[in-house]
């Protein structure tokens, strides 16, 4: 009978660990989808400010700080430059996403984006 109670405890432990892992994966995916709205905001700033100007970068950094706890940063060859109408701007968003619940290191991912300046 002793073995049966030990096995029951082990089954409960494994079950709880699996539930924690699934919840952690779900929370990671929810945080990962935030990149879409952030990328939309970056495109909007590029279109309205004529590129990744200093003003646009400050607005993007402020948006990242207030809405995403500075999880997203932007990198580009045309950083802090105003570009002409219709010129494409390629950029990379670096996302640092923490793993919730489980004691694992943060995940750093890169996402490429592209936008066109709409200022004449």
Q: Residue 31 has what pLDDT?
A: 94
Q: Is the pLDDT of residue 3 over 90?
A: no
Model pTM?
0.84
pLDDT in tens, 49-86: 999 999 999 999 999 999 999 999 999 999 989 999 99
Q: Is the pLDDT of residue 1 over 80?
A: no
Q: Residue 72 has what pLDDT?
A: 96
Q: For residues 113 and 90, what is the distance between their CA atoms, to the nearest angstrom?
A: 6
Per-domain residue ranges for the chain? Answer: 2-116
Q: Is 28:96 a contact under the CB 8 Å cutoff?
A: no
Q: What's the residue count for the chain?
A: 120
Q: Is 115:40 a contact under the CB 8 Å cutoff?
A: no
Report the run of H or E that residue 78 belongs to, with start and end.
Answer: none
Q: Is 74:89 a contact under the CB 8 Å cutoff?
A: no
């Amino acid at each position: 009978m002793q073995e049966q109670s030990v096995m029951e405890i082990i089954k409960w432990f494994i079950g709880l660990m699996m539930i924690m892992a699934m919840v952690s994966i779900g929370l990671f995916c929810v945080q990962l989808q935030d990149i879409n709205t952030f990328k939309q905001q970056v495109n909007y700033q590029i279109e309205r400010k004529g590129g990744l100007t200093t003003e646009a970068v400050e607005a993007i950094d402020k948006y990242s700080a207030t809405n995403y706890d500075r999880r997203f940063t932007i990198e580009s060859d045309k950083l802090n430059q105003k570009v002409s109408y219709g010129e494409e701007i390629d950029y990379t968003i670096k996302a640092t996403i923490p793993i919730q619940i489980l004691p694992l290191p943060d995940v750093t991912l890169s996402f490429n984006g592209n936008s066109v300046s709409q200022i004449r």
